Amino acid sequence: MRLLADAHLDLAMNLVYYDRDLRLPVDEINRQEKELSLSDTPFRGNATLSLPELKNSGLGICVSTLLARSGPDHARKQKYDRIDLDFGTPDGAYCGAHAQLAWYYLMQARGEIRLLKSREDVDQHWQLWTAASPEEYESLPLGVILSMEGADPISSPHQTEYWYHLGLRAIGPAHYGASQYAQGTGADGPLTDWGFQLLAEMQKLGMVLDVTHLADTAMQQALDVYDGPVWASHHNCRSLVNWDRQLTDEQIQKLVKRDGVIGIACDAIMLHPGWVMGVTQPDVLSISSLVDQIDHICQLAGDTSHVAIGTDLDGGYGNEQTPRELKRYRDIHLIDEILQSRGYEDAAIDAIFHGNWLRKFREYLPAESPST
């Protein structure tokens, strides 16, 4: 089993918004939700992950999110509004993100996870995992690097440093629709004045700009003005599935020129043209579609240095909206054999599974954690 690094999981959201105890085995989470006949969302009883599942799958490090939306008043009238994520004011988003932050610190206190804030943390943690046997994985802490998906919880650009000292290391300025800082998926348009100020504050701190979910115009502006580190944590290819949520070939090439890495996501709507949420069934889609996305980026980049894993599993959907073979997190390992069958060598597969993200974590995080 190869070790994994995953650049996008919404772990705390599953507890704060959906009351899932991620300390349980994933089968127990699904059993409880089915027994209670929970039907508030389509993914009840279809969870793919939990902390034991992630660790037993060899996931040593992940980037995990704080996610809460507010944005301008008109954004709450869009079709993307969800009461589990949306707040009427930035104050609500600020508090919602803090509730998620509290879960990470609670899990760290219990030894379930370790918050990684520096290069030194990453190196020490990865050494721990590489020295362990698969039988020992569940007893190890999961390494977590904090990211913010949509920057609305940051009440103003000048508050960015406050979040940095709490452990935040990456920010995506928008999610769906309009945030206070930028236009996101489904709402093309530019960065706001605050968006430019946010990028300036991030650059001072050396934070990662996650371009995922940025509208095309906003992404272009951000890449033009931001000289700091960039990645796309969970983003697939528009030329394979035509949707503004996906990266164009030109955007991929721009990220490659910046030595960015793109994490391939497992959401079926990003893998199958014409997928209709709640209607299309997983049996139409094979997990080989993930490798198609990987192949396309490798062909554009000319090598395997710029693509990795950013599953987004249980990020508001479950295995009702994944490829048919992907029932739980450990099934990610099925792409190993497919990559081998397509001629990828071991070193290249290791890079895709963890090496490319480790390179970026070591490059982008501060050498040591700053004092708070």
pLDDT single digits (tens) 193-230: 999 999 999 999 999 999 999 999 999 999 999 999 99
Give the integer Cα–Cα distance in Å for 149 and 151. 6
Q: Which residues contact 19 (CB under 8 A, 6 or more apart)?
A: none
Residue at 120: amino acid letter? E
Are 347 and 305 in contact by the 8 Å Cβ rule? The answer is no
Q: Please list the pLDDT of the chain residue by residue as tens digits (372 residues).
A: 999 999 999 999 999 999 999 999 999 999 999 999 999 999 999 999 999 999 999 999 999 999 999 987 444 544 455 667 889 889 999 999 999 999 999 999 999 999 999 999 999 999 999 999 999 999 999 999 999 999 999 999 999 999 999 999 999 999 999 999 999 999 889 999 999 999 999 999 999 999 999 999 999 999 999 999 999 999 999 999 999 999 999 999 999 999 999 999 999 999 999 999 989 999 999 999 999 999 999 999 999 999 999 999 999 999 999 999 999 999 999 999 999 999 999 999 999 999 999 999 999 999 987 764
Alpha carbon distance 252, 265 (integer Å): 15
The range of the structural domain enclosing residue 155 comes to 4-364
Helices (H) and strands (E) in the chain, counts: 13, 9
Using DSSP's 3-state secondary structure scheme, residue 59 falls into strand
**DSSP string spanning 166-210?**
TTEEEEES-SBSB-SSBBBBT----B-HHHHHHHHHHHHHTPEEE
Under a CB-based contact definition with an 8 Å cutoff, are residues 365 and 169 in contact?
yes
> Within a domain: residue 272?
yes
Name the one residue in this structure whose structure tokens are 């001072």. Answer: 204
C-beta of residue 185 within 8 angstroms of C-beta of residue 75: no
Q: With respect to residue 372, please indicate whether it lies within any of the assigned structural domains.
A: no
Cα pseudo-dihedral 154, 158, 160, 161, rounded to 10 = -140
Task: Tell me if 290 is assigned to some domain.
Answer: yes
The per-residue pLDDT for range 136-166, each reduced to its tens digit, is 999 999 999 999 999 999 999 999 999 999 9
Which of 4, 7, 5, 6 is closest to 210 using CA atoms? 7
Q: Classify residue 369: in a domain, yes or no.
A: no
Q: How far is CA 210 from the centre of its chain?
A: 9
pLDDT score for 74: 40
Domain count, the chain: 1
Whole-model pTM above 0.75? yes
| Structural domain contains residue 371 | no
In a domain, 370, yes or no: no
CATH of the domain at 11: 3.20.20.140
